[in-house]
Structure formats: C-alpha cells, structure tokens
Amino acid sequence: AQSVTQLGSHVSVSEGALVLLRCNYSSSVPPYLFWYVQYPNQGLQLLLKYTSAATLVKGINGFEAEFKKSETSFHLTKPSAHMSDAAEYFCAVSSTGGYQKVTFGTGTKLQVIP
C-alpha cells in the first residue's frame, strides 16, 4: 500500500521568500516520488522526480526536493519565490514494482504575495 500526505492545502509566501511545500509518503517498497505543478485551467506538469539515483533532485523553474528516507519526506523547495510560481502543487508516489500504480496527494495551492 502507498499513500501521500501534503501538509497545508494553502501556502502563502512573499515574492523573493523561500518556498517550502511539504510531502510525506508511505510505501511498503522503495518508492518513486514526484512533484507536479498545475497552473489554472491546465493539466498537471512534471516538476521533478526521485528515482533513487540522488537524494537531492533538481527540477524545472528552480525547484528542488530532497528525499529523506528516515523522515519519509520529499519536501519541495525554492530559494526565492516568483509571482509566476503561483499554482497548485501535487506530490505523488509510485511503487517500484507492479503495474505502475501512482497515488497523488491532495495538492497545495501556493499564493505569492507581491
């Protein structure tokens, strides 16, 4: 069984401030982990993925995430928020075996305040 918990359905940050979006996962086998971003009226877009090659993963638009097995976390960060980062962010987990079951979190809406 696998699951994902995103802490905070809404997060507000000031432009230029650190962005931190939290994700904790549960998986009975080594997981693959993903962050997706959804801009208004668009589909989800892959931001970055953890595939066990490196614990610190860099993605598009200056985002990165760190896999911490001991904390079962995969938090998303960006050093300096831009107005264009305002969107909804989804964390997802996939099992390394089986038929590609993917479980999404409930999403976190990021608001960037000028």
* Burial category of 76 from C-beta neighbours within 10 Å (exposed 0-12, middle 13-18, buried 19 and up): buried
* Residue 24 beta carbon to other proteins: minimum distance, rounded to whole angstroms: 18
Lookup: tokens for 81: 């928020």
* Residue 22 beta carbon to other proteins: minimum distance, rounded to whole angstroms: 17
Q: What track of x and - describes contact with other proteins for positions 16 through 45 (by CB under 8 A)?
A: ----------------x-x-x----xxxxx
Nearer to other proteins, 43 or 114 (CB): 43
94 forms part of the interface with other proteins (CB under 8 A): yes
101 forms part of the interface with other proteins (CB under 8 A): yes
In sequence order, what are the beta bridge partners of 8?
A: none
* Residue 16 beta carbon to other proteins: minimum distance, rounded to whole angstroms: 30
Residue 54 neighbours by CB under 8 Å, 6+ apart: none
Query: With CB under 8 A as the contact rule, which of the stretches 21-29, 61-69, 76-84, 88-96 interacts with other proteins?
Result: 88-96
Count of chain residues binding other proteins (CB under 8 A) = 22
109 forms part of the interface with other proteins (CB under 8 A): no
46 forms part of the interface with other proteins (CB under 8 A): yes
Lookup: tokens for 69: 């097995």
CB 52 within 8 A of CB 76: no
Rounded-to-integer distance, Cα 82 and Cα 100, Å: 34
Rounded-to-integer distance, Cα 113 and Cα 71, Å: 30
